[in-house]
Every structure is written in structure tokens, then in C-alpha cells.
Structure 1
Amino acid sequence: MIAPLRPVTRAVTYTRWLHLVMAMVVATVFAFVVPGLANMDTLAGAWLLVAPLPLLVAAGTIPRVRLSEGMQAQLLLYPARRGGREPDFTPAPSASWSDRRRTVLWLVLRYELGTLTAFFSVHTPTLAVNLISAACGGRPESVLALWKPRGGHWWYALVALAALALLLAFVVVAGEVLARAARALLGPSAAQRLAALEERTERLLEHNRLARELHDSVGHALTVAVLQAGAARAAGSPGFTDKALAAIEETGRHALEDLERVLKVLREDAPGPAAGRPALTDLKRLLTAARGSGTEVTAEVSGALEALPGPVSREGYRIAQEALTNVVRHAGPMPVSLRIAVRADVLELDISNPLPASAGSAVSGTGSGLRGIRERAALLGGHAETGVHEGAWRVRAVLPLSA
């Protein structure tokens, strides 16, 4: 299809035409109320472009007017975007005086363009009919009380077609101008778009953090449960089996609490409460779970864990948990040394164990758990090292207390 004719076949051209003409409702009310404005064929009728402006300014300050205009614009100016595609903007009431000012500009622009479009939509077809009648030798009426075509000129028919083509071109251009104005005036401002982007980024970061929480908590619980169950079956001792089942029950209960908390945050799409998250003050339950799986853990703590800032204590707990889980999962029952030192300005965690007979992902340092350890430390402004050190596998993290 020829490019200039493509807008004629698009439905959006006619929905935008309708949106423009709808602005004539205000002009019609003023034409009936104010004497002399009803006759648009005279210069006095031009006041119809000016008289409603104070009313439009007052209406633009009403917050719900912006919402109504936004919904109309989205429905008629962008009808092709209703099929699941991302909308150009989300209609919303005015939230600031900046929104109100832009709403006033939108109402004035829509009214002026709409009134002109309605005027041309009524008189251009009338002009075309008169010209065609004149071309056929008829007796046409005068046009806008200014000009009366004389019959007998065949080229009047070509002028009539040109007038209709110009009307369509005007509608297409006016509709495109109005659509772009709607995006600028009814959509979010630059500051609002930046705030929305920052909010979305914060939400993604929170979801990533929750994913790490689930990986650490549930992964640790499943690892401990599997090892406890295997050890109980191999031992064949009722007493050991009871202890193993108790450890599995406690670890599973804590994992379920973490899972419920994370799912609640995801459902509400809001930051989760920090109070329910384990911290280094809960180190005892972490050591109990690791020792219950057959791992000999030697813990050395220096400094007051209760004095640690909340974020540092919680992330430190997760780092220690992931390091112990890696040992249990990849190295099996073997002695582990855990040292925690609370200094004046940093928290140091050092977890080391002898290298297993066959080095797996724990030694390679490419697993998601070890990557999560480094990410946790980096988010708090610290750093973490994982790898072989003096013949042992070592995880060392330094977290600044100022975080």
C-alpha cells in the first residue's frame, strides 16, 4: 500500500478523530449559553476558542480530571496497546501542582485542536458537496457566507477531492500531535519516571536478596536433613536416631519460618521485616545443626555479638551458614574451625576446613553459594575471599560495622 494512504486504513486515525471531536462538547455548551457564539460562520464565532478557557483552567486543577483524561487518551489515542502491550503511560490523578499545570495545558490543547477539527469536519464535506454540485452545473449554496461557487467548472470536483484529502491530512497530523502531547502532559514527569525506576530497581534488589535468603536457608536445611537421615540409618542406634530426628525437626522448622517470611514479602511486594531474620546472636542453633550432621565445629568468638549493627549481624549469620553448609555438602564430616571477631570497626569471619579428598565446587569457588557470600560482603562495603589457603579450604569475610 502507498505510504501516504496508510493512515486512512488505520483504526487509530478514526479513534483519534473521535477523541478530537469530543472536545466540541464544551464548545457546544458555550454556544448555547453565550449569545452570538453559535454562529461559527462569522468572526464573532471565533470567541468560542477563547470563552471556555477559564473553565478548562479550573477543571485542570481537579485531581480526578487528570485520571479521566488519561483513561480517555489511552483508550482512543492508543487503542492498539490494549492487547497486553506496555501502555504509553498509566492514568493517575494529579499528585502535585506540576501535574495540575500539565493537565491544564492538556485540556487547553485538546479543546483548541478539537474545536478546529470539529469545525473542519463539518464544513469541509459541505464545501466538497457544493463544489461537486457546481462542477455538475447545479446551483450550490454559499460557503461560510463568504463565497459562492459558480457552476460549469469541471475542475471544482478536483478541488472538492483535494479539500477532503486535506481534511484527512489535518486529522492525521492533529491526532499524532495530540497523542504525543498526551504522553508528555498526562504521563509521568521526568522526576516521577526516575522515582519509578529507582523503586523498580529497589524491588529487584530486594527480590535478589530474598532469592539468596531462600538459597541459604532452605539449602542448609535440606543438606542437614539429608545428612542426618543418612547418618541415623548408618548408625542403627535408637538414641542417635532420636537426636537426628530432633535436629531435622528443628532445622526444618527454622527453614519453614524463613520460607513463610519470604513468601509473605513476595506476595505483598514490600520490604520484609528484619526482626524475623536470624543474626549472629542465633549462632548456637547454626552450630547445633552443623554438629548434628557429624561435622566437628570448633567455634571461637571474640567481642560482643549483641553490639553488632543489625544488617552486619544478619549478613554475617548467612555467610557463616553458607560456609558451613558448603563444608557439610561437599566435604562431609570433618573438623571445621569457625572464628568470629568483633573489632572496633569491622566484623571478621574466618571458616576453614581441611581439603576433601576430591575437590568439588566448594573448592572451585564458582558455586552460587560462594558467589552469594561475596555479594553479601560487597553490599555492606566489605569483601570476602574463598579458596585454598595453607592447605585448607577457607572462607574469610570482613564486614565494616559502619554499614
Structure 2
Amino acid sequence: MSTFLRPDRDAVALAASGLLGGLLLWRLGLHTQGGHPFSAPWITLLPLTVMAAAELLRRNAPRTALTVGALALVADQFTRGSLATALMFTDVMYAAVLYGTPAAARRLPVATLLITVASTIGFLAWFRQPEALLIGLVIGLVSFVPALTGVSVRSHRTAADSARLAAAQTARLAEMDRRQAVTAERARMARELHDMVANHLSAVAIHSTAALSIDDRETSRGALKVIRENSVEGLAEMRRLIGLLREGGEDEAPAAAPTLAALDSLVGQTNVNGASGGLVCTLEDAREPGAEALPTPVELAAYRIVQESLTNALKHAAPGPVVVRLGRAGELLTVEVTSAFGSRAGPTAPGSGAGLVGMRERVALLGGIFGAGAEPGRDGTMIWRVRAELPVREREVRS
């Protein structure tokens, strides 16, 4: 009920303008017709006032406004008539289509068209004069044309609302894509930083602990030498990563990613770093010589998996062999790293668990299979095995 009592500003302005305009026409004695049953001039003000009241309901209650307005327009035909009443009815009809229900918006143009045609035919049959066409034209201008205009405006508004909704949805999807891209890039940076630096820092931590805990000059010198080498290499890796993150020029060539060809150097470095812990690392490459080059993402992922596995062996493996195996089975590259599983004496480095998470993420991005865990070895001892199967076809690599 509150919607009937609180019309909007436009409705109030239209109602007031129509009422004042009608009063001015009435005061000047300007009427649309004459010779009707209720020919007293003041009676014309009654339909005018009712139509102005209907204007107040044009938006909040368009169906009620149209019903009241139609009755007022019919009543106006039995008086001298007011142009203001007819003009306000056109706005009420327009508002009924624009603000009414979708069903009303579909039916009113058809109904007013039928009324216009039927009225024109009826008046032609009654008066039998061509002037009867003018009556049908007036009826069409008062009813059908405003309804048709309301349909057009409503269609444009609906299209505009749909466009705004589509734009908002596009903006939301773009924001989601941006956040996902930022999250993926942060995860990639975290993996690269962990894989590049963890190996060197683990060696530094283990050998610095050995240097502090073992009171032997030669042992301390050897440990300090390893610490220095890993510190320099770790710093170089950090600088390379920072260089990748900085915004370079268009002509600046990107830094080369590590490949499986560098595994010999990685294994040799592990032997140096793990000598004090009794680790002996070997590389077994069972791939056929001259095989086709691997896609860069696959090559980088395989290298990082080996690197992180050797870092974990350096931190946690018991004394014994550490074996890196590479193989090619059809469209899959297999990477496997095994090491002795168990406790060991001497210094160790703490682990955060991020290494296994990073390896699993790398393999998942390529659509491969990853597994890691302890299992019995061939000689009955327990070993820790890391195994990854990576698709080698570029089309299978997922970004």
C-alpha cells in the first residue's frame, strides 16, 4: 500500500503539469468537442483530475493507473473534452508497457492495435464518411503509438541491462583470471626459489654444523670450502632469479633454463656436498642416444625434480648410494631417484615439506604421475624412492 502513497518525482511532475495545463485550457475555453450530454464546462475537470491522479501511479502501480486512466478517458468523451486528459493518458499507456509486467508489455500493443482497427471499422460503418478514418487515427495515436513506444524503450533498456550484466560478469571473470594468474605465478616463483637455493643452503647448513661440532682443522677447512662454494653458487642462482623477475628490455635475451644435460654437474656437486655424510651419488641415463629433444617445460621439471630429490637426500638420507635414473618409455620420460632410508649420525638440515609439494605441483602441471615414499629395496634394506612420469609431447603440457 505504501507504493500507492509515495509516487516518484517524475510522476508528481507529470501529474502536476497535466493538471495545470488542463486547468489553463479549461480557463481559456479550449475544448476538444462539444454537443455532448454533459456539456457544462466544469464537468470537464472531473476526468482531468482523475487522470492526473492516475499519473501519480504510473510507475508504482501501472496496471491500476491504466485502468483508472482508461475510465477517465472514456468519461472525458461525454464532456466537452480536454486535450490535457488525452495527453496524460498517452503517458499512462506508455508507462503501463514500460513499467508493467512482461505479459502486459506483450499484450498491450496487440490489444491497442486491435482496438484501433476495430474502432476505425466501426466508425466507418456508422458514419459512412471518410472522416471516420480520422477518429481511428486519433485512437491509434492515443493508445497504440504510446504502447509501441513503450515496447521499444523497454527492449532497449533490457538490452542495456543485459549488456551491463555481461560486462560485469566479464569483469568478474577477468578479475578471477588475474587472481589465478597471480597465484600461479607466485607458486611458480616459490618452486623456482626453493629448488634453486635449497640445495646450496642445505649443504651450507650441514657443513657449518659439522665445522662447529667437530674439532678438527682439516674437517673444518673442508667444510668451510664447501660452504663457500655453495654460498657463491646459491648467490649466483639468486641473482639469476632476480634477473628473471626484473622487467628487461625488448632486446634482452631470456636466461637459459637448466636442462638434463647439466645433471652430471648436479650429481658431482651432490657427491662433494654429501661426502661427509657417506652419500655416493650416481647417474644412470637409460635413454637412447640421439633421441628427440624434450620440450622445455618437461626438461625443466625433470631437472628440478632431480635437484630437489638430491637436496632431500643430502638433508635426510642415511649413508649409502643415491641413484638418479632417467628413462624413456614411449611418450613418457621417467625420472627416479633412490636413496638409503633411515637415521644417520652427524649433522642434518631441517625440512619444511615444501619440496615434495613443489615436485607434485610440477608433475601435475604437465599431466604426469608422481610418487614418493619409503619401500623395501632389493637387498632387504629400506630405500626412499621418488618417481615421476612426464609426458614428452608438447600438446600434453598444460599451462
State TM-score, norm by structure 1. Answer: 0.52
Distance between the aligned counterparts of 1:244 and 1:222, measured in 2?
9
Instruction: State the partner residue of 1:393.
Output: 384
Q: Deviations over 1:201-243 (max 9, x none)?
A: 9835555434433343344444333334333434553353133
Instruction: State the partner residue of 1:309.
Output: 295
Determine whether 1:373 maps to 2:359.
yes
**CA pair 259-280 structure 1, distance change in 2 beyond 3 A:** farther
Which letter does structure 2 place at the counterpart of 1:257?
Answer: R
Determine whether 1:242 maps to 2:242.
no
- Give the alignment partner of residue 17 of structure 2, picking from 126, 143, 162: 126
Q: Is the 8 A contact 1:382 1:397 kept in 2?
A: yes
- Paired residue secondary structure (1:396): strand
Q: Deviations over 1:134-178 (max 9, x none)?
A: 8xx9727869x899x954646744532321331677487789876
**CA pair 172-232 structure 1, distance change in 2 beyond 3 A:** farther
**CA pair 139-158 structure 1, distance change in 2 beyond 3 A:** same
Distance between the aligned counterparts of 1:332 and 1:259, measured in 2?
35
Aligned-pair identity (%)? 28
**CA pair 128-301 structure 1, distance change in 2 beyond 3 A:** farther
Q: Shift of residue 199 of structure 1?
A: 6.0
Which letter does structure 2 place at the counterpart of 1:350?
Answer: E
Determine whether 1:184 maps to 2:167.
no
Flag structure 2 segments of 5+ consecutive residues without an equivalent. 35-39, 63-94, 101-149, 345-351, 377-381, 395-399
- Give the alignment partner of residue 27 of structure 2, picking from 124, 139, 145: 139
Q: Shift of residue 317 of structure 1?
A: 0.7
Instruction: State the partner residue of 1:231.
Output: 210
Q: Deviations over 1:66-89 (max 9, x none)?
A: xxxxxxxxxxxxxxxxxxxxxxxx
Q: Shift of residue 318 of structure 1?
A: 1.2
Distance between the aligned counterparts of 1:220 and 1:328, measured in 2?
8
Q: Shift of residue 388 of structure 1?
A: 1.4
Q: Shift of residue 392 of structure 1?
A: 0.9
Distance between the aligned counterparts of 1:220 and 1:5, measured in 2?
77
Instruction: State the partner residue of 2:262.
Output: 282
Distance between the aligned counterparts of 1:172 and 1:224, measured in 2?
75
Q: Deviations over 1:326-348 (max 9, x none)?
A: 22334477642222234554322
State TM-score, norm by structure 2. Answer: 0.53
Q: Shift of residue 321 of structure 1?
A: 1.7
Which letter does structure 2 place at the counterpart of 1:226?
Answer: A
Instruction: State the partner residue of 2:327.
Output: 341
Q: Is the 8 A contact 2:369 2:388 kept in 1?
A: yes
Distance between the aligned counterparts of 1:151 and 1:373, measured in 2?
92
Q: Is the 8 A contact 1:279 1:313 kept in 2?
A: yes
- Paired residue secondary structure (2:342): coil
- Paired residue secondary structure (1:325): helix
Distance between the aligned counterparts of 1:282 and 1:398, measured in 2?
20
Distance between the aligned counterparts of 1:141 and 1:292, measured in 2?
113
**Where in structure 2 are the equivalents of 1:144-293 lying within 5 Å?**
151=42, 153=45, 156-166=48-58, 170=95, 180-185=158-163, 203=181, 205-234=184-213, 237-261=220-244, 263-264=245-246, 275-293=255-273
Q: Shift of residue 393 of structure 1?
A: 1.0
**CA pair 217-352 structure 1, distance change in 2 beyond 3 A:** same
Distance between the aligned counterparts of 2:7 and 2:340, measured in 1?
74
Q: Shift of residue 386 of structure 1?
A: 0.9
Q: Is the 8 A contact 1:129 1:160 kept in 2?
A: no
Which letter does structure 2 place at the counterpart of 1:374?
Answer: R
Q: Which moved more, 1:275-284 or 1:121-130?
A: 121-130
Distance between the aligned counterparts of 2:42 and 2:272, measured in 1?
107
Q: Deviations over 1:272-318 (max 9, x none)?
A: x9753322222245335534443524222323599333222111011
In the alignment of these two chains, the number of paired residues is: 277
